[in-house]
């Protein structure tokens, strides 16, 4: 790589020690990935912060937001969508009684942002 050039895209390749056909298909999750010295202003999240309770939940999750929650999607730890709900409310409840016990990720979408929240179904 010639560092004298300015690049406008980045490609990242991970090598986990398995090559060729034996590598198979795997899913890896990365958290807290940072590039450069830019800092995201936390005020962006204040406007769309979504409160979810109880956690862990057994029957119903309650959501509160400062702006309209348009939709909610729930994903299992394999990344499979297991529930989708259209809301268009600032305060709402989501029935999770039909989900198996385990860890899930709720993705709530508003007009300006989306927020993912981890929760446990008892």
- Per-residue model confidence as pLDDT tens digits over 45-56: 455 589 999 999
Instruction: Note the pLDDT of residue 46.
Output: 53
What integer is the mean pLDDT of 78-90? 96
| CA 101/CA 81 separation, integer angstroms | 15
Reply yes or no on whether the pLDDT at 42 is more than 80: no
Instruction: Note the pLDDT of residue 43.
Output: 46
| CA 37/CA 78 separation, integer angstroms | 32
Reply yes or no on whether the pLDDT at 70 is more than 90: yes
Cis, peptide link before residue 103, omega less than 30° from 0: no
Reply yes or no on whether the pLDDT at 65 is more than 80: yes
Reply yes or no on whether the pLDDT at 87 is more than 80: yes
What integer is the mean pLDDT of 73-102? 96
Give the pLDDT band (50/70/90) at residue 7: low
What integer is the mean pLDDT of 104-119? 93
CA distances from 5 to 8, 13, 18, 113 (A): 10, 20, 32, 34
Reply yes or no on whether the pLDDT at 78 is more than 90: yes
What is the phi/psi pair of residue 119, to 5°? Answer: -145, 165
Rg (CA), the chain: 19
Of 3.40.190.10, 1.10.260.40, 3.30.1540.10, 2.60.40.3080, the CATH number of 43-121 is 2.60.40.3080
């Amino acid at each position: 790589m010639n560092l004298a050039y300015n690049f406008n895209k980045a490609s990242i390749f991970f090598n986990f020690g398995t090559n060729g056909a034996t590598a198979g298909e795997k899913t890896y999750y990365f958290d807290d990935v940072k590039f450069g010295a830019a800092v995201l202003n936390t005020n962006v999240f204040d406007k769309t912060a979504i409160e979810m309770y109880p956690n862990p939940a057994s029957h119903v999750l309650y959501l509160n937001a400062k702006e309209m929650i348009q939709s909610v999607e729930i994903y299992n730890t394999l990344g499979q969508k297991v529930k989708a709900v259209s809301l268009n409310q600032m305060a709402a409840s989501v029935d999770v009684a039909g989900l198996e016990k385990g860890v899930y990720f709720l993705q709530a979408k508003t007009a300006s942002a989306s927020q993912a929240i981890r929760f446990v179904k008892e």
